[in-house]
Structure 1
Amino acid sequence: MTTAARPGSAHLAGADPAEELTALLDGLTGPGEPFSVEALAALDRAETFPDEACRVLDAFGLPRYYVPVEHGGALDDFSVVMQLLRGVSRVDLTVAAAHGKTYLGAVSTWIAGDSGQAARLGQRIIDGAVVSCALTERHHGSDLLAGEVVGTRTEGTAGSSGVSGGLRLSGEKWLINNVTRADLVTVLARTDEAGGPLGFSLFLVDKEQLAPDQYTDLPKVPTYGIRGAAIGGIAFHDAPLADGALVGRTGQGVEIILKSLHVTRTGCVAMSLGAGDHALGLAARFAARTRTQSGRSLAELPLVRAELGEATATLLLAEATSVVAVRSVHALTGEMSVVSAVAKASVPAYVDDLIARLFHLLGPHGLAGPGDPHGEFAKVERDHRIIGIFDGSSLVNRNALIDQFPRLARAYRKGRWDAAGLAAATTARTAPGPFRTDSLNLISSSGASVVASLPVAAAEVRHLADEGLASEGLADLAARLHATAGRLHEDMAGARFAPRAVPVRGFELAERFELCFGAAAALHLWLRGAEHAGAGADDTWLRGCLVKALTDLGEHVEETERRVHGELADALLARPAGPGAPYSLLDRLAAAPGGHRPGPAPDTQEASAS
């Protein structure tokens, strides 16, 4: 049976699609299979696109999860997309970036396209069409308002493609993932010579409707990581656009893109989580199998256990941020300008830190070639470097966060948050509500509910500890996080930075806010979960997240509290060996329908509903 014909799109009723996909990919890692280490390493060396691996994902039906249910697909929960892309990235990040670009490229149409346009695009994707998104240009990078690709109105006659004259596209987009292989391209173009926020429009360009002389695919650019990905460019030569190519209204392009980025950034963090899974799994297996001269495994050495444990805590903190961020697309939609910026700035940075820590642990084995099983690690390290700049670099996202410091500080001081939205965003095993695109805003008017509610969350943990349902250690860590967040928001309230001239201190405050957000997300996930429904509930993963965040925030953490990293290392090493996911907080957030969950302390009940 050829790879293209492999069964996979006929999913089992009631089956979890992410678990199905993981099982499928795990079965295709043997010799000669498209997801084997050898095959992926060969593609990487040759800088060749992973066609066969992408066909497997097509046969599985992954493109259906890029299309909302209302447009004929299977997307009704963005956390499912996150887990699917994470599962692919766990095996190979190049494949995930190559295939997942269609999801990222189509979001603008789901947000701003009319129903007919969205339905047509949905069917094209389900039928196998590839979509790319062309924003950046060779000389302007992330500065969208400097773009020189233009869409101009003419009175010309029908072009050689048979498309009516009228609106024509000219100029070059560059460093665009999958644009040379795409069937359709979402293009941001200048439609007002004066430019400015209202001077750009968005177009869904169907390359099949253009003549060969109306566009040029620019050569693939050699890259440090994801070497097989088709990252290149496209130049339009007075290319006529069909009726219906405009997405949204004329002049609305920048606004649509910025709102779309609130969603697509969660797809990027999914790829970071998968890379973190892969790197942590490789390091754990290496430590367990490698013996010292005395015959002990590396995993038995205290220093190695501490490194593995802190790396696990780092991934758990990244996962908590990501889980809450992707659920917030549904539940805290109006706050996504903050949430998505936090997630995209912090999660790739956390995983870069994790990989660097593990690289140090592996030593020369981390740099070994593909003939050595540990050569996989060098590829993960290279591949993940680019995720930090997809859909806006950490610098760009932190700058967007800094712009909202006054609102965030004000909301925290007033104790203002969306209680219902927060509960939905942090109850990990419940189905989310519908995604309401009209609730997306360029700026959050309500601050960040995840962080603004920290005082009540800390009080709730204190109440649980008093009732014997949470440990004193956890209550102390939560209280210290609350105090740290309070000081941070005082600093943010007093910070005034000129646009485009933000000093280093501004970015340091943004990083501190990201750590508080991640730790608060972990705390809320635990509180909304079922683990604390009885005495002696396991809080290891949560304590690991809080210790990691407080340490990175510069807070003093006692050595006795740092021992949680050893507990996390034990949990990691106890998992079965194999390519599946390492220790994940989602394993710990079991649903408990109808189960008793203690309420918040009486004196915090009113505040939590404010």
Structure 2
Amino acid sequence: MGAEELDALLGDPWDAENPLGYAAVLDADERHEMLAEGEQLLDRFCMNAEFVPVEYGGRFTRADRLAQIQRTLWRRDPCLGLGYGLSSFIASVNIWTSGDEDQRRRAAELLLNNGRIAAAFHELDHGNDFANAEFSAQRRDGRWLLSGRKEIVTNLRRADAVVLYARTGEAVGSRSHSQFLVARDDLPAAGVRDLPRFLSSGMRGVQLGAMAFTDCPIPADSLLGAEGQGMESALRAYQITRSITPAVTVGPLDTALRAALGFALDRRLYGGVAADIPYVRSVIARAYADLLAIDAFSAVVLRALHLSPTIALYAPAAKYLTSRIALDAFEELRSVLGAQGYLRQGPYAIFQKMARDIAPATFAHISRAGCLVMILPHLPRLARRAWLQGSPAAEELFDLEGELPPLNPARLTVGVPPADGLMGTLAEIGGRDSDGGAVSRFATRFLDELRSLRDECAGLPPRDITISAAPEAFALADRYTVLLAAASVLAVWDQAGARYGDAELIGVLDRLAGRLGGRSVLTTAERESTEDKLFAAAAQHCLDRRLFDLTARRVPGEGRQP
């Protein structure tokens, strides 16, 4: 079972009679409900097996495979993707990384029987500031007593088990919190009560729940890992989930781009169709390039989980930058659809749902500012010791069709990265002899940016590598994420040979360079030519019913949508 099989089971999304098509997805969204037929299909597909390591009876071995399967689901309905898919995965990764053998086996059995596990980390008063979370667990009479509230937790009311993050010590620092795995049946009614569901403008079908605990007893063996290791366990697990999330966002963007392109090809005005207007063609071309940028960057980060597990910065960098790219692309595509981009009915109504659903997906789990805060402390050291003098990453990191060893969460680290292979790769490619072509000019441009970034980051004062950093310091972290993406894109195309198009490469590099500001690398004529080719390629993908990502895989249905 894989992404193609799931696509076949979901069927043609534009078929109004398909109970799993966009019409049914939109109807469920209007009711603020999960698509029941979709959940039933995912039960039959045993989606949860994708979250369980093979040694415990599941199908999880490669992060990129899981991302492709989840991307397929999110392309159809992000509510199913989060509410059925990633929510249980986010919770279970903590069990695979920190749980004992019995806890892992119990979690695997629950998931393989189509059960749900919720990740109850969030508290409204503290958001993603887990170091100050107040929900507490206290030892008493050979068991733990839970007190406090957990809020805005996906599937909390529907879950069969919960991974809880709780304060177990009063000292300030990262050793004051722990994680617990608790079966819902082990929570006595007198100690816990469900609070009203939170309603949201995006992900309207997802059940966002809350619970209030009052001296609620749980078994002593509920502790996940060692006491006080909750933060470290979470950071290790989050490397996996924060690497997968950026790759998944390609799904909703694919659907949005397909809807906008279909509209541009169908909409008649000014004696032709909207797609004849240069501005419309440019927006479509740029959104297509943005999607490819997210795909290439996130694919490299996913492979790094397997091949470079000591580099913890790439996950928050990808989460930050791909979120920005996706949101910007959605906003630009909305300008093509005009009023149709807001309507909740009609042939293009799926666009507004995808636009609403992608917004919370880009900040959930960690905000973009939070990602930069994770990156900042490491920039001075990397600038002085790694950039422009470190070795490039191994070539296998960029071979997206290459084999990977099974993912081993125990190898993931949360400390200072010892190297930065992507910046080494950027230095190596940028230092090659230039042939004067557009790609060579872009490589030189990015290398020059790396030199400038090195000088600025090496001199950052201590106050500018903390949460209290000046805006200019955050801007340096932003530029770093763009250079990571540029290095990934250059190396992926370099490894692929003629597999991916030259116009696509130039378009992606142009979009990334635009995020750095400064003088354009392309002439006006070069950009117009590149965007014409990108629009033509995107239109052909749409007509051929192929994905816009680097796989260009065919999807169900005959001809293009509406």
Q: Give the TM-score band, short-chain normalised.
A: over 0.9
Residues 328, 200 of structure 1: alpha-carbon distance in 2 compared, 3 angstrom cutoff: same
- For the 8 Å contact 2:203–2:356, the answer to whether it is kept is yes
Asked whether the 8 Å contact 2:236–2:412 carries over to 1, the reply is yes
Alpha-carbon distance in structure 2 between the residues aligned to 1:433 and 1:574: 35
**Match for residue 314 of structure 1 among 281, 286, 290:** 290
Of 364, 389, 402, the residue aligned with 2:363 is 389
> Alpha-carbon deviation of 1:587?
3.7
Report the AA paired with residue 348 of structure 1: S
Distance (whole Å) between structure 2 residues aligned to residue 194 and residue 456 of structure 1: 46
2:132 maps to which residue?
146
Quote the residue 1:602 is aligned against. Answer: none
Match of 2:478 in 1: 511
**Offset at residue 316 of structure 1 (A):** 1.1
The correspondence of residues 228-243 of structure 1 with structure 2, limited to 5 A, is 228-243=205-220
Q: Which moves more between the two structures, 380-389 or 74-83? A: 380-389
Which AA in structure 2 matches 1:436?
N
Contact 1:28/1:34 (8 A) holds in 2? no
2:225 aligns with 248
Aligned: 1:472 with 2:457: no
CA displacement at 1:567 relative to structure 2: 1.1
1:122 and 2:108 aligned? yes
Hey, what does 1:134 align to over in structure 2?
120
Task: Encode CA deviations 1:91-116: one digit per residue, 9 max, x unaligned.
Answer: 11111110121111110111111233
What SS is found at the alignment partner of 1:368?
coil
Corresponding position of 1:30: 15
Please say if 1:41 is aligned against 2:16: no
Deviation at 1:192, TM superposition (A): 1.0
Is 1:293 equivalent to 2:257 in the alignment?
no
After TM superposition, give the deviation of residue 187 of structure 1 in Å.
Answer: 0.7
CA distance in structure 1 between the partners assigned to 2:221 and 2:497 by the alignment: 49
Task: Write out per-residue CA displacement over residues 23-44 of structure 1, whole angstroms, 9 at most, x where no aligned residue.
Answer: 2213466335432222222221
Q: How does 1:161-240 map to 2 (within 5 A)?
A: 166-240=143-217
Residue equivalent to 2:256: 279
1:86 — aligned with what? 71
- Partner-residue secondary structure (3-state), 1:434: coil
Deviation of residue 523 (structure 1)? 0.8
Equivalence for 1:446: 418
The whole-number CA distance in structure 2 between the counterparts of 1:581 and 1:118 is 39
| Other-structure match for 2:448 | 483
Query: CA 1:394 to 1:582, structure 2 compared with 1: closer, same or farther past 3 Å?
Result: same
* Residues 541 and 552, structure 2, Cα contact 8 Å, conserved in 1: no
Matched, 1:565 2:536: no
The secondary structure found in structure 2 opposite 1:223 is coil
User: How far off is 1:497 after superposition?
Assistant: 4.8
1:418 Cα offset (Å): 6.2
Partner of 2:493: 526
Q: Structure 1 residue 318: deviation in Å?
A: 1.1
Question: What is the letter of the counterpart of residue 402 of structure 1?
Answer: L
Match for residue 111 of structure 1?
A: 97
1:302 equivalent in structure 2 = 278
Instruction: Indicate the residue corresponding to 2:324 in structure 1.
Output: 349
Q: Give the corresponding residue for 1:606.
A: none
TM normalised by structure 1 equals 0.86
Matched, 1:424 2:396: yes
Match of 2:383 in 1: 409
Per-residue CA distance 1:327-365 (angstroms, 9 max, x = gap) = 111111110x21011011111211100000001121111
Amino acid of the residue matched to residue 551 of structure 2? Answer: L
AA at the equivalent of 1:219 = P
Cα contact 1:367–1:374 (8 A) shared by 2: no
Structure 1's unaligned 5+ residue stretches are 1-10, 12-16, 156-164, 466-470, 589-610
* Residues 418/201 of structure 1: CA separation in 2 closer, same or farther (3 Å cut): farther
Determine the C-alpha separation between the residues in 2 that align with 1:525 and 1:25.
Answer: 31
Give how far 1:240 is off. Answer: 2.2
Distance 1:131 1:411 in 2: 42
CA distance 1:179–1:581, change in 2 (3 Å): farther
Task: Tell me the alpha carbon deviations over residues 255-288 of structure 1, each in whole angstroms, 9 at most, x when there is no partner.
Answer: 1111111111123223321111111111111111
Q: In structure 2, what residue type is equivalent to 1:228? A: G
Root mean square deviation of aligned Cα: 2.0
* Residue aligning to 2:560: none
CA displacement at 1:120 relative to structure 2: 2.1
Distance 2:386 2:493 in 1: 21
Report deviation, 1:243: 4.2
d(CA) in 1 for partners of 2:409 and 2:336?
45
Residue of structure 1 in register with 2:508 after alignment: 545
Range with bigger deviation, 112-121 or 308-317: 112-121
Match of 2:549 in 1: 584
Shift of 1:438: 3.0
> Deviation of residue 530 (structure 1)?
3.3
In 2, the alpha carbon distance for the partners of 1:285 and 1:145 equals 47
Which structure 2 residue ranges, 5 or more long, are not aligned? 554-562
CA deviation vs aligned residue, 1:299-335 (integer Å, no higher than 9, x gap): 1222111111111111111111111111111111110
The structural deviation recorded for 1:434 is 2.5
Tell me if 1:500 matches 2:472: no
Letter in 2 for 1:71: Y
Contact 1:404 1:443 in 2 (8 A): no
Q: Is the 8 A contact 1:150 1:189 kept in 2?
A: yes
Instruction: From the superposition, tell whether residues 105 and 444 of structure 1 become closer, same or farther in structure 2 (CA, over 3 Å).
Output: same
Aligned residues: 547
Matching residue of 1:595: none
* One-letter amino acid matched to 1:419: A
Match of 1:62 in 2: 47
AA matched with 2:113: D
Q: What secondary structure does 1:103 align onto?
A: helix
1:5-25 deviation per Cα after TM superposition (whole angstroms, max 9, x unaligned): xxxxxx4xxxxx111112221
Shift of 1:484: 1.7
> 2:247–2:294: 8 Å Cα contact kept in structure 1?
no
| Secondary structure of the structure 2 residue equivalent to 1:575 | helix
Q: Distance in 2 between matches of 1:434 and 1:97?
A: 24
1:411–1:417: 8 Å Cα contact kept in structure 2? no
Take 1:260 and 1:556, find their aligned partners in 2: how far apart are those partners?
Answer: 40
Cα distance in 1 for partners of 2:234, 2:315 equals: 13
Aligned counterpart, 2:517: 554
Secondary structure of 2:285 counterpart: helix
1:415 touches 1:453 (CA, 8 Å); kept in 2?
no
